A and B are shown apart, each in its own frame.
Chain A
Amino acid sequence: MTHFNPITLVSHKHYLEHDTGGGEHPEVPERLLAISEQLKKSPLCPVLVEVDAREPERQDVLAFHDESYLYRFEETALSGKTYLGHPDNQICFDSYQIALLSAGGGITGIDLLENNNADLVFCLVRPPGHHAESSLPLGFCFFNNAVIAAKYWQKKYEREKIVIIDWDAHHGNGIQAAFEEDPSVLYISIHEHPTFSFPGTGHAEDNGMGPGTGTTLNVPLRPGSDDTVFLQAMERLVEPALADFRPDRIIVSAGFDGHIKDDMSGLSYSTDLYEVIGRKMAAWASQYCQGKLLSILEGGYHLESLAESVERYLQGMAQTTQG
């Protein structure tokens, strides 16, 4: 029988109340519901520990976002407008508070990793974050959950060198913008080629700026790329970059929209791939960070594949450290 290490799931029931207006919007509460349904009937269920996310301190959010943007977002939501900036970014009356709580997921997870003997934390949050810039909502994202988490980890626990590994199908332009001049954070993104994929950023030539030159790694893949292409890129480009950087802590921007059934990208990953990724992430955490691993949910819009892929990712992650 397979032995699973415990995994802490950080989430909050308010995440379900971020209303994106129905209709054709892909970023819906059902995403989180599908995942929890799947996990309830999973063999992993006995090792899952659920914890509520807490709200972040204002200063934790301001470590990346402009205060004027916070005001604008809050006012827009409270005024009853249905979107912020572009019509893609649908909001409801409570979305500002919920987006804050979403950013609080990573922070809650970090506290657990540092103080409570937890090793594997997965934040089941929404709205997602990796497209959000300091004062720009983009691609359903409002606050950049991964960026806020990385800055918190550095400041609160003095974990100096952080790597953010982002294998969502889309480039995390917001994470890149936050750290492209910062050599203390290595941002690695594997995504569909920017000419054919939202948001159109993340060319292989972009490898950081000024003192941060060399600590941004973009790996664009051709539309149609499958598990083999992904794993080759991991081995040839990502692993050497990690070995070079030697991170103190790892944050995973875990998006599941590269799945072949997910229409949000042209990538063709199988469900099986996510278990392999889970094993890899946990192995790297053991190698570099005493087994501490923080994952934060980004995209993933085909409900069935999302739920199955998250389960497999967690399974892969929970298996590793034994033996």
Chain B
Amino acid sequence: MYIERHMITPALTVKPDTLLPEVKEILTSHKFRHLPVVDHDNRLIGMISDRDIRSAYPSSVLEEEKRRTILDEVSKTKVEDVMGSKIFSLSPLSTLDDALHLLSRGKVGLLPVVDEDRQVIGVFSVQDLMKAYKNLYGIGEKGSFLIALEDDGQPKPLTRIVRVLEEMQISFSRLSRVKGENNKNIIYLRVQTFNINLIHKAFKEIGMKIIKD
């Protein structure tokens, strides 16, 4: 669950005095959309995105002379003049859930990961988050599928489910309980077997019903 196991390292960063054409080149050649900006001690001081860069460049509908003037300015502009300084960041001990929360709250595509000294030690993107959850939930894993069970209302349903699955040596990768319609809880789990007889037997033994549609 910890970001340190899922982040991308080392992080590519730029210095505050890097000029915009160079940043643009880095973003394009790596197909990145965001870069952390760090000071000379590798401490996070801002983020620069392709959007920041795009708005600094002249619009193509401008007349030639004006365009040239702006381009001339851009080529001398430093990152620190256009970077965003209101930044969200993660720590190595942030969890995937923390990252999900921050990515959606900050409406950003990538978060820098910093240590206690605010030095950038990695980055973590929406894509990385999707990959991590995909593994975590066993989605797309060949040989597995999702089962939905109706909670029988008896005590400790999850404990009973896990116990019987483990006893029958049926491996599973996700177990979650959500509120369904009519206040009934539905329990989802992803199992890795084709021996559905065994699964039926397991759930019959503890009185759980498989929901078929």
List the interface of chain A (C-beta within 8 A of B). 24-26, 86-88, 131, 138-140, 173, 194-201, 222-224, 263-264, 266, 301
Residues A198 and B213 in contact in the complex (CB < 8 Å), given A87-B169, A139-B143: no
**B195, A88: Cβ atoms under 8 Å?**
yes
**B212, A224: Cβ atoms under 8 Å?**
yes
**B145, A194: Cβ atoms under 8 Å?**
yes
Chain A, residue nearest B213 (CB): A224
**A200, B143: Cβ atoms under 8 Å?**
yes
Query: B108 to chain A: closest CB distance in Å?
Result: 28
The CB with the most chain B CB atoms within 10 A, among A131, A138, A198, A301, is that of A198
**Band of interface residues on B:** 20 to 34
List the interface of chain B (C-beta within 8 A of A). 140-148, 169, 192-198, 200-201, 212-213
Query: A6 to chain B: closest CB distance in Å?
Result: 35
| Cross-interface CB contact of B213 among A131, A194, A222, cutoff 8 Å | A222
Q: How far is the CA of A224 from the CA of B212 in the complex (A)?
A: 7
**A197, B197: Cβ atoms under 8 Å?**
no
**A88, B142: Cβ atoms under 8 Å?**
no
Residues A197 and B145 in contact in the complex (CB < 8 Å), given A24-B198, A26-B196, A26-B197: yes
**B195, A25: Cβ atoms under 8 Å?**
yes
| Cross-interface CB contact of B201 among A24, A198, A222, cutoff 8 Å | A24
**B213, A199: Cβ atoms under 8 Å?**
no
Q: How far is the CA of A87 from the CA of B168 in the complex (A)?
A: 11
The CB with the most chain A CB atoms within 10 A, among B142, B146, B213, is that of B142
Chain B, residue nearest A203 (CB): B140
Chain B, residue nearest A20 (CB): B195
| Cross-interface CB contact of B197 among A25, A198, A224, cutoff 8 Å | A25
**B144, A199: Cβ atoms under 8 Å?**
yes
Q: How far is the CA of A88 from the CA of B169 in the complex (A)?
A: 11
**B146, A196: Cβ atoms under 8 Å?**
yes
Q: How far is the CA of A87 from the CA of B195 in the complex (A)?
A: 9
**A199, B145: Cβ atoms under 8 Å?**
yes
Contacts of A173 in B (CB 8 A): 142
Residues A200 and B197 in contact in the complex (CB < 8 Å), given A222-B213, A223-B213, A224-B213: no
The CB with the most chain B CB atoms within 10 A, among A195, A197, A199, is that of A199
Contacts of B142 in A (CB 8 A): 138, 173, 199-201
Query: A267 to chain B: closest CB distance in Å?
Result: 9
Contacts of A223 in B (CB 8 A): 212-213
Contacts of B200 in A (CB 8 A): 263
**A26, B140: Cβ atoms under 8 Å?**
no
Contacts of B146 in A (CB 8 A): 195-196
Contacts of A197 in B (CB 8 A): 145
Chain B, residue nearest A131 (CB): B194
**Other CB < 8 Å A-B pairs besides A24-B198, A26-B197, A86-B143, 5 of them?**
A86-B192, A173-B142, A198-B193, A200-B145, A201-B142
Query: A8 to chain B: closest CB distance in Å?
Result: 30
Q: List 10 A-B contacts (CB under 8 A).
A: A24-B195, A26-B196, A87-B169, A196-B145, A196-B146, A196-B147, A198-B196, A200-B141, A222-B213, A263-B196
Chain B, residue nearest A223 (CB): B213
**A140, B196: Cβ atoms under 8 Å?**
no
Contacts of B144 in A (CB 8 A): 198-200
**A195, B195: Cβ atoms under 8 Å?**
no
**A140, B213: Cβ atoms under 8 Å?**
no
Residues A26 and B195 in contact in the complex (CB < 8 Å), given A222-B213, A263-B200, A266-B213: yes
**B197, A88: Cβ atoms under 8 Å?**
no
Contacts of A131 in B (CB 8 A): 194
Q: How far is the CA of A252 from the CA of B168 in the complex (A)?
A: 35
Query: B138 to chain A: closest CB distance in Å?
Result: 9
**A195, B194: Cβ atoms under 8 Å?**
no
Chain B, residue nearest A89 (CB): B194
Q: How far is the CA of A273 from the CA of B35 in the complex (A)?
A: 59
**B196, A264: Cβ atoms under 8 Å?**
yes
Contacts of B213 in A (CB 8 A): 222-224, 266
| Cross-interface CB contact of A198 among B148, B194, B198, B212, cutoff 8 Å | B194
Q: How far is the CA of A24 from the CA of B143 in the complex (A)?
A: 18
Query: Nearest 3 A-B pairs (CB), nearest first?
Result: A224-B213, A139-B194, A266-B212
Q: How far is the CA of A201 from the CA of B193 in the complex (A)?
A: 14
Q: How far is the CA of A198 from the CA of B201 in the complex (A)?
A: 17
Contacts of B148 in A (CB 8 A): 196
Query: B212 to chain A: closest CB distance in Å?
Result: 4
